[in-house]
Amino acid sequence: MSLAASHMDRMYRHQRHIYDASRKFYLLGRDGLIRQLQPPNDGTVLEIGCGTARNLILAARAYPAARFYGVDVSGEMLATARKSILAEGLEDRVIVAQGDAANVDPNVLFGVGRFDRVFISYALSMIPPWREALDRALDLVAPRGSLHVVDFGDFTALPQWFGKGMKTWLGVFSVTPRTDFENELMGLAGRRGMRARVVRRFRGYAIHAVAVASGPSDGDWPNDPATGFREYSPFVAPSDRAGASLHRAAYR
Ligand SMILES: C[S@@+](CC[C@H](N)C(=O)[O-])C[C@H]1O[C@@H](n2cnc3c(N)ncnc32)[C@H](O)[C@@H]1O
| Average pLDDT estimate for 132-146 | 97
Which residues pair with residue 70 across a beta bridge? 47, 96
Ligand 1: lining residues by beta carbon, under 6 Å: 4, 8, 23, 27, 30, 49-51, 54-55, 72-74, 77, 100-102, 121-123, 126-127
Q: Which of 28-32, 38-42, 165-169, 241-245 shows the lowest per-residue confidence on average (mean pLDDT)? A: 241-245
Nearest CA, atom 8, ligand 1: 121
Q: Looking at ligand 1, which atom is closest to the CA of residue 23? A: 9
Which one has a higher pLDDT value, 245 or 122?
Answer: 122
How do 206-212 and 141-152 pair as beta strands? antiparallel
Single-letter amino acid, residue 233: S
Question: Domain locations in the chain?
Answer: 3-250
> Vertex 50, ends 188 and 56: CA angle to 5°?
110
- pLDDT > 80? residue 80: yes
Per residue in 140-168, pLDDT (tens digit) is 999 999 999 999 999 988 888 888 888 88
How do 195-201 and 206-212 pair as beta strands? antiparallel
- pLDDT > 60? residue 235: no
Q: What is the dihedral of CA 102, 106, 112, 116, to 10 degrees?
A: -30
Say how many residues make up the chain. 252
Candidate from 18, 45, 50, 150 with most ligand 1 atoms within 8 A of CB, to mutate: 50
CATH number of 3-250: 3.40.50.150
The closest of 183, 44, 54 to 123, measured between CA atoms, is: 54
Nearest CA, atom 4, ligand 1: 51
- pLDDT > 90? residue 174: no
The closest of 242, 232, 239 to 38, measured between CA atoms, is: 232
User: How far is the centre of ligand 1, averaged over its atoms, from the C-alpha of 99 (Å)?
Assistant: 11
CB within 8 A of 119, min separation 6: which ones?
Answer: 33, 37, 45, 46, 47, 48, 55, 147, 148, 149, 150
What are the phi and psi torsion angles at 19 (to 5°)?
-60, -55
CB within 8 A of 21, min separation 6: which ones?
Answer: none
User: How far is the centre of ligand 1, averaged over its atoms, from the C-alpha of 123 (Å)?
Assistant: 4
